[in-house]
Chain A
Amino acid sequence: MVKFIIRRLVTAAVTIWAISVVSFVIIQLPPGDFLTSYEANLRQMGENVPEEQLEAMRERYGLGEPIVTQYYKWVKAILLHGDFGRSMESGVPVSVLLWDRLPLTVLVGLSSILFVWVVAIPIGVYSATHQYSLMDHVFTFLGFLGLAIPNFLLALVLMWVAWSEFGQSVGGLYSPEYKAAPWSMAKFLDLLSHLWIPMVIVGTSWTAGLIRTMRANMLDELNQPYVETGRAKGLREWRVVWKYPVRVALNPFISTVGYALPQIVGGVVITAVVLNLPTLGPLLVRALLAQDMFMAGAIVMILSVLTVIGTLISDILLAILDPRIRLE
């Protein structure tokens, strides 16, 4: 087990390194170096850039030096100081913008996964154990409906419902009065009352697929002899179902934890824009539109690292839960 985890950790480290190279290439892609565009940007806004500051930045990023040195300096700044460079668009350090949004992105992502699991797993189990029953058909229908309705439309509908029925301020994750407020219980509750909309929207499109997966996995497992054994032992039916086939059918789900986050960030950009969510998605879109390469590179890098960490977590979870995996 320890050997297995160490091997996975090494693989993850190598992957993250490869990602950093790709991210760096993205930053380097636009013609010219970014200081020229930074300078040009500021000039355009009518600001004057002191020559010393430019010189300091040139030194800091190793511009004009070989590309390997530049890469080395970029990575070193990230690793040692958490310094991702400055956003060219706003001039604010990228890390400040990231730290502002990353926790909320992860929060929306994780709560969506939670929502999806809590909804999809019991429904999938029910549909499989009551195959072709009326409710099985109803769930299938609702699932496909959820799949067919575009997210942004659902977002608009839910916002309208939240506003007209509950009198909630819509958009964003906080009510205006809490936006700048320090963290408190009230702010947290306010956050929760806003969180359900993105949670449901992101969840709905996913849930349908996962219900199908769970149902199919369960149907495969339900007829296995070990389920019969459990039944023959005199266990209650729900205990047989939840202890044996569900446990086995869940394994494929665990591996989805890994790519859930980037999928959510990438997949719901439009929703996030409509909902005005302070997550990474809209930030990435704006960075790409503005050719804000430090910003874009950093977000790509962070999302990829999150994916790698997620995959690592699901691999280890899977190895703990499924003894067959440890064999290889």
Chain B
Amino acid sequence: MPDILLEVKDLHVNFFLTEGTVKAVNGVSFKIERGKTLGIVGESGCGKSVMARAILNMVRPPGRIVSGEINYYSQPDSPPINIASLNRNSAQVRRIRWGEIAMIFQEPMTSLSPVHTISNQMIEPIQLHLNLSKQAAKNHAVELLARVGLPNPEQLLTRYRHELSGGMRQRVMIAMALSCNPKLLIADEPTTAVDVTTQAQILNLMRGLQDEFGMAIMFITHALGVIAEIADDVVVMYLGEEVEVADVDTIFHDPSHPYTQALLRSIPRPDMKLKRLETIKGNVPDPMHLPQGCKYHPRCRYYIPTRCANPPFERVSSEHRARCARIHDIKEQLSEPTS
């Protein structure tokens, strides 16, 4: 029996705008195991960030969680708390935020306040969730900053965000996120806004911290390449739906969904230097006017009108599912030698 930490069941999040309803998250289900890393991948605009916020019940009007469950198992044998059913401003949700599930964002520049010191911002959740004195909280902050590899932590505490580099800011955010020993760290594109070297360092750091702190990570990215370095399991999202769910090896070596395959072909690889990178043809459709039937069909090379009207979320093997009506034909087609 896998030890489940978080179980999302058929989650729907809509934005009710005057121009229409945006179904940003449209029936997503997945599980995160305690201490493991789940990668969420998909092109920009497919609902990854909205889903991350929904897990902390932080979706704000005009958006709302319309249905589904977010079951959080604080201890292996404790009854679950359904975060989706709690009031957005309730004390129960606020205790879970940062204390149990912490989050870091894509923009390390703007996710820190421009007018408060690092110290002020770091001490705040420590005092709130761990009930430490100001001095004890400060000492804890210093330890964490040193742990994420930042030199002169005492001095760093007196700094403001504009005095730090992009990599330093993201390290500060990571230190801050780990300050209350969360059981789950949601990282929403934490390496998108930093350069490649910094990206590698931050991924390294996160892996090291996971070994040490033992938290599970939900790692969100639009770049499948990054997933290979950190995830155990992967959810591939397209237009608010999950299109493929599998462990990381399967996703990279035996993907079933045409969208996953296309994403794989668009990863830059050193052994393919001379070939031109493929990009997925077409654009992500307007979220207000989703395609009928299979949402990926306007961009899919295997599309057959009648067959693809209502693709099932089909089980490929025990822990591998894909939302495609033609999984088996595609397998055969791919195994045939092509000229």
Residue numbers of A with Cβ under 8 A of B are: 224-226, 228-237, 243-244, 247-248, 251, 321-324, 327
B73 at the interface (CB under 8 A from A): no
Query: A244-B113, A324-B160 are known contacts. Are A232 and B58 too (CB-CB below 8 A)?
Result: yes
Instruction: Pick from B99, B106, B110, B162: contact of A224, CB below 8 A.
Output: B110
- Across the interface, do A232 and B115 meet the contact criterion of CB distance under 8 Å? no
**Binary flags per residue of B291-331, CB closer than 8 Å to A gives 1, else 0:** 00000000000000000000000000000000000000000
- Across the interface, do B128 and A229 meet the contact criterion of CB distance under 8 Å? no
- Across the interface, do B97 and A233 meet the contact criterion of CB distance under 8 Å? yes
- Across the interface, do A235 and B94 meet the contact criterion of CB distance under 8 Å? yes
Instruction: Pick from A234, A247, A323: contact of B160, CB below 8 A.
Output: A323
For the complex of A and B, the 9 pairs showing the least CB-CB separation, nearest first, are: A234-B97, A225-B111, A234-B94, A323-B160, A233-B125, A225-B110, A226-B113, A233-B98, A232-B103
CA distance A226 to B95 in the complex (A): 19
Query: A323-B160, A327-B162 are known contacts. Are A233 and B124 too (CB-CB below 8 A)?
Result: yes
Q: Chain B contacts of A248 at CB under 8 A? A: 113-115
- Across the interface, do A228 and B105 meet the contact criterion of CB distance under 8 Å? yes
Q: Chain A contacts of B105 at CB under 8 A? A: 225, 228-229
CA distance A231 to B57 in the complex (A): 10
Q: Chain A contacts of B175 at CB under 8 A? A: none
Residue numbers of B with Cβ under 8 A of A are: 53, 56, 58, 89, 93-99, 102-103, 105-107, 110-117, 121, 124-125, 128-129, 160, 162, 173
Question: Which chain A residue has the least Cβ–Cβ distance from B173?
Answer: A229
Smallest beta-carbon distance A267→chain B, Å: 31
Q: Chain B contacts of A327 at CB under 8 A? A: 162
Q: Chain B contacts of A228 at CB under 8 A? A: 53, 58, 105, 111
- Across the interface, do B94 and A236 meet the contact criterion of CB distance under 8 Å? yes
Q: Chain B contacts of A232 at CB under 8 A? A: 56, 58, 97-98, 102-103
Instruction: Pick from A234, A237, A324: contact of B95, CB below 8 A.
Output: A234
Q: Chain B contacts of A229 at CB under 8 A? A: 103, 105, 111-113, 121, 173
CA distance A324 to B160 in the complex (A): 8
Question: Which chain A residue has the least Cβ–Cβ distance from B56?
Answer: A232
- Across the interface, do B114 and A237 meet the contact criterion of CB distance under 8 Å? no
- Across the interface, do B115 and A323 meet the contact criterion of CB distance under 8 Å? yes
Query: A234-B97, A234-B98 are known contacts. Are A226 and B162 too (CB-CB below 8 A)?
Result: no
11 A-B pairs with CB atoms under 8 Å apart are A233-B98, A233-B124, A233-B128, A234-B98, A234-B128, A234-B129, A237-B89, A243-B116, A247-B115, A251-B115, A323-B162
Question: Which chain B residue has the least Cβ–Cβ distance from A327?
Answer: B162
- Across the interface, do B97 and A231 meet the contact criterion of CB distance under 8 Å? yes
Instruction: Output the residue of B58, B102, B111, B117 with the most chain A CB within 10 A.
Output: B111
Smallest beta-carbon distance A65→chain B, Å: 55
CA distance A236 to B98 in the complex (A): 13
- Across the interface, do A226 and B97 meet the contact criterion of CB distance under 8 Å? no
Q: Chain B contacts of A233 at CB under 8 A? A: 97-98, 124-125, 128
Q: Chain B contacts of A225 at CB under 8 A? A: 105-107, 110-111
Besides A225-B106, A247-B115, 12 new A-B residue pairs in contact (Cβ under 8 A), listed by A number: A226-B110, A226-B112, A226-B113, A228-B111, A229-B113, A232-B97, A233-B125, A234-B98, A235-B128, A248-B114, A323-B160, A324-B115
Instruction: Pick from A226, A234, A323: contact of B111, CB below 8 A.
Output: A226
CA distance A247 to B120 in the complex (A): 14
CA distance A324 to B94 in the complex (A): 31
Question: Which chain A residue has the least Cβ–Cβ distance from B100?
Answer: A234
CA distance A230 to B58 in the complex (A): 11
Smallest beta-carbon distance A285→chain B, Å: 42
Q: Chain B contacts of A235 at CB under 8 A? A: 94, 124, 128
Question: Which chain A residue has the least Cβ–Cβ distance from B109?
Answer: A225
Q: Chain A contacts of B102 at CB under 8 A? A: 232
Q: Chain A contacts of B128 at CB under 8 A? A: 233-235
CA distance A104 to B171 in the complex (A): 54
Q: Chain A contacts of B162 at CB under 8 A? A: 323-324, 327
Question: Which chain A residue has the least Cβ–Cβ distance from B110?
Answer: A225
Question: Which chain B residue has the least Cβ–Cβ distance from A245?
Answer: B113
Smallest beta-carbon distance B101→chain A, Å: 9
CA distance A233 to B126 in the complex (A): 9
Smallest beta-carbon distance A36→chain B, Å: 59
Question: Which chain A residue has the least Cβ–Cβ distance from B129?
Answer: A234
Instruction: Pick from B58, B106, B113, B173: contact of A231, CB below 8 A.
Output: B58
